Amino acid sequence: MRFGSDDDVARQVDSRRKVRIPHWVRNVPLPQPHLVALGVAAVVETLARKHIVVPPLRFAGYSTVGAGVALAAWATQATAPTDLAEPDRLVSAGPYAISRNPMYVAWTLIYVGLGLARKSVWIFALLPAVLVMTHLTIKREERRLQEKFGPRYVAYAEKVRRYI
């Protein structure tokens, strides 16, 4: 009795293989506080239909989103040689010479820019929670980096600001 064709078996084997994603792609940040708050704001905004009505904010918003995207791209390019999940060295070039957390700064710019462009009261209402959760995440990451790199990280942290 035969349960599947050779093609079925090949598909099952292929489905068990892990997809190898280059580390530079994994380095692109997707901070959960920003994404969750954007989702909550979108739902509440849709249900409540509350908007700030100031047309110039749209231009300012999209400009801020553009600045955030550019900063995220620059930070991602600067980290390309390193797997941020398991870093083997400190990244201190590019935007990391100005901020220890340029990707989080970039995502916050994108988040605020979307709030302006969408004229969303809800995105701004959730901003304090986003900032607190992001700060707590950064503090955890800093402890991990200090444990891994010791005095090199301490010297870097004394020289470069946490945000901007």
pLDDT of residue 39: 80
Q: What domain range includes position 128?
A: 6-159
Tens digit of each residue's pLDDT (9 = 90 or more) over 87-111: 889 999 999 999 999 999 999 999 9
Has residue 89 been placed in a domain? yes
pLDDT of residue 9: 41
Has residue 100 been placed in a domain? yes
Residue 147 φ/ψ, nearest 5 degrees: -65, -40
pLDDT of residue 20: 66
Tens digit of each residue's pLDDT (9 = 90 or more) over 11-32: 444 445 566 666 556 666 667 7
Q: Does residue 62 have a pLDDT over 50?
A: yes
Q: The domain spanning residue 20 has which CATH number?
A: 1.20.120.1630
Has residue 164 been placed in a domain? no
% of the chain at pLDDT higher than 90: 53
Has residue 83 been placed in a domain? yes
Has residue 133 been placed in a domain? yes
Has residue 1 been placed in a domain? no
Q: Does residue 85 have a pLDDT over 60?
A: yes
Has residue 19 been placed in a domain? yes
Dist. CA 78–CA 140, nearest whole Å: 22
Tens digit of each residue's pLDDT (9 = 90 or more) over 121-159: 989 999 999 999 999 999 999 999 999 999 999 999 999
pLDDT of residue 18: 62
pLDDT band at 37 (very low <50, low <70, confident <90, very high): confident
CA distances to 17, 26, 94, 149, 151 from 156, in Å: 40, 24, 14, 10, 8
Has residue 39 been placed in a domain? yes
Dist. CA 71–CA 81, nearest whole Å: 17
Number of domains in the chain: 1
